[in-house]
Amino acid sequence: MPSAAKPSVLTTRPAAMQGALTSALNEKGFTAIPLPLLEIIPEELDNPTTPGLQSKLLDLDLYQHVIVVSRNAARIAIDLLDQLWPQLPIGVQWHAIGKGTTEELAQYDIHATTNEGLDSEALLTLPAFAEPAGERILIFKGTGGRTLLEETLNERGAKVETINLYHRQMPEYSDAELSECFKKAPGAILISSGEALEHLATLADEWGLFAKTPIFVPSQRVADLGKELGFTDLTVAEGADDSAMIAALEQRFK
């Protein structure tokens, strides 16, 4: 049975990423309350809203570097590439933002380089991107989000192309579903992105909840956004991956 000292935890990752986190939390004595705050809508080859999607994927062997910015981007990119490439081309250097993205790619035998840290700033410190002038770089990401990678690499002389592989939206929940979820107010909340935090703020306003609930976020940037949104108890974990989030929880609720 979960320890009485350990709170119930609202987990807000997309549905496809909830299983492992829920199991890990329960093993540590927390009670997980899954409530995805982001729904991932993947791009499809037969109905692309991204101009040039298929041609860019078919030109994969012409790029020196591929950057994958998230676990979702990794999963969707591989699914699309499997439809076009029986075997991935050699000679392309793969790079990933975050431990989770690196682990996702490794499941497909793609060994990506990364750096300590979770964001574009960390990736840009890799030696491969110190002087990329003239090199072709392809970025797999979702619609929206930061543009620092593209802007900085272009400034350094690289030829950068971006593919938006998915978009995110707030899942639709009925009042009954939310009421059941919030029947016992969670003692902590795990947030993995600024967009999810914004969706949480919407729920907080509508339901009058979470103003003082401990919220665990993956970076100082997201924590700063949380302060702007009115949240008062924010803890920055050492990463967005499950292990880093749970480590921060355990440190707080010893």
DSSP codes, 143-162: SSS--HHHHHHHHTT-EEEE
Task: Give CA 138 to chain center in angstroms.
Answer: 18
User: Among the three residues 122, 141, 168, which one is the final residue of a domain in this structure?
Assistant: 168
In three-state secondary structure terms, 113 is strand
Same domain, 175 and 141: no
- In this predicted structure, what is the pLDDT of residue 2? 45
Domain that holds residue 211: 8-38+170-252
Instruction: Note whether residue 3 is domain-resident.
Output: no
Q: Which residues of the chain fall below pLDDT 70?
A: 1-4, 117-118
Instruction: Note whether residue 1 is domain-resident.
Output: no
Same domain, 14 and 76: no
- Which stretches does DSSP call E strand in the chain? 8-11, 31-34, 39-42, 65-68, 93-96, 136-142, 159-169, 188-190, 215-217, 234-236
Residues 156 and 177: their CA atoms lie apart, in Å, by 49
Domain total for the chain? 2
pLDDT in tens, 154-209: 999 999 999 999 999 999 999 999 999 998 889 999 999 999 999 999 999 999 99
SS3 content of the chain, % helix, strand, coil (to 5): 40, 20, 40
- In this predicted structure, what is the pLDDT of residue 41? 93
User: Among the three residues 113, 143, 168, which one is the final residue of a domain in this structure?
Assistant: 168
> Is this model's pTM higher than 0.85 or not?
no
